[in-house]
Amino acid sequence: MIDVALERVPDEPAWVDTRGMLLSGRAQVAFAPQPEAAADGFVVWVPDAALISIVGRPPGALILEIAGSLEGDVNALCQFADVAHVGAALSQWQRTVAVLHALRSRAEWEDGAEHDTRIFFAHNAPPLGHVPAPLRYELENALSGRTIARFVPGELPNRDVPPPLDATPMAASFVRGLPVSFCYPVVRTERWWDVSIETLPEHRRHGHAVRAVRAMTRHMWESGRSPVWGAAIGNVPSLTLAHALGFREVSRLCVFSSAGDAES
């Protein structure tokens, strides 16, 4: 079923989350039981991340069934053409807009190098004991193959995940030998990767996030992948940073949330 779903999901920035989920080795897929309904759409979900993507217009009952089966505070993604259909099924859920950006042209920093940055993996990661517990949990999970960053934060299930298909690289900007800003791919497709960037509060507005993103982007270019920067429309600092790095809007998604501080 994963292969069938991949045929319906193009390798484009608007679909980076969905295709990346399908390629992650952590996703499940459900089509409607009637053969003729397969053309109407399907649902992709990653249980350990409480994350769903609705592709097309599968039956509302199927959407509700999958959403109700997940633990934690769920994010459900859909394209804007399908918002009315998905909204009818998830009528009690909050919703917000996610803005997706990509680099439309060559970045002026493409051939440069960053001071005090490093790419690492789980086996050679620096100490993270100074990182606040919630972010440390996210980073340690990412390095182990369970990327859990989402548009609308919330409670996640405590689940084991299968071994990662590929090791997760992470870039960090360092201050006095300690990493203070972290960038890694939430998902990867054949041509794209979804940017996650977090900086310790006391080190924000000092250029660390810029350095970490640039370093991670150059590393991923080596594998032929370009960055997609997604952020909730209310996340002004993230959107501002994306623009400063030369990213430009290419698409939007609707994000339905079962809990959290999503904006209407």
| 161 inside domain | yes
Residue 260 pLDDT > 70:
no
- Please give the mean pLDDT across all residues of the chain: 93
Q: What is the b/e burial string over 2-30, where b = at least 16 CB atoms within 10 angstroms of the residue's CB?
A: eeebbebbeebbbbbbbbbbbbbebbebb
Q: Are residues 180 and 84 in the same domain?
A: no
CA distance 190 to 226: 10
Higher pLDDT, 187 or 161: 187
Q: Are residues 112 and 87 in the same domain?
A: no
Q: Are residues 246 and 121 in the same domain?
A: yes
Q: Decide: 235 and 242 in contact? Cβ < 8 Å.
A: no
Determine phi and psi for 248, rounding to 5 degrees: -130, 150
* Residue 261: per-residue pLDDT: 44
Q: Are residues 77 and 158 in the same domain?
A: no
Mean pLDDT of 64-90: 96
Q: Are residues 223 and 107 in the same domain?
A: yes
Using CB atoms within 10 Å of the CB of residue 185, give its burial: 0 to 12 exposed, 13 to 18 middle, 19+ buried.
buried
As for how many domains the chain has, the answer is 2
Q: Are residues 48 and 94 in the same domain?
A: yes
| 262 inside domain | no
Q: Which of 85, 101, 117 is the last residue of a domain?
A: 101
Q: Are residues 122 and 244 in the same domain?
A: yes
Residue 264 pLDDT > 50:
no
CA distance 78 to 255: 7
DSSP 66-115: HHHH--SS-EEEEEGGGHHHHHHHTTTSEEEEEEEEEE-S--TTTT---T
pLDDT level of residue 36 (50, 70, 90 thresholds): low
Q: Are residues 117 and 139 in the same domain?
A: yes
Region of 25 (left: φ > 0; alpha: ψ -120 to 50; beta: rest) is left
pLDDT level of residue 33 (50, 70, 90 thresholds): confident
pLDDT level of residue 209 (50, 70, 90 thresholds): very high
Q: Between β-strands 226-232 and 94-103, what pairing exists: parallel, antiparallel or unpaired?
A: antiparallel
CATH number of the domain that residue 230 is part of: 3.40.630.30
Q: Are residues 89 and 165 in the same domain?
A: no
* Residue 96: per-residue pLDDT: 96
Q: Are residues 132 and 67 in the same domain?
A: no
Give CA separation, 108 vs 112, 155, 160, 245, 261, in Å.
Answer: 8, 39, 41, 9, 36
Q: Which domain holds residue 177?
A: 103-250
* Residue 67: per-residue pLDDT: 96
| 256 inside domain | no
Instruction: State pTM to two decimals.
Output: 0.93
* Residue 106: per-residue pLDDT: 79
Share of the chain above pLDDT 90, in %: 86
Q: Are residues 78 and 148 in the same domain?
A: no
Q: Are residues 32 and 114 in the same domain?
A: no
* Residue 263: per-residue pLDDT: 44
| 261 inside domain | no
* Residue 179: per-residue pLDDT: 98
The lowest-confidence range among 51-55, 96-100, 208-212, 256-260 is 256-260
Q: Which of 47, 67, 101 is the last residue of a domain?
A: 101
Q: Which of 49, 81, 101 is the last residue of a domain?
A: 101
| 246 inside domain | yes
| 258 inside domain | no
Higher pLDDT, 161 or 110: 110
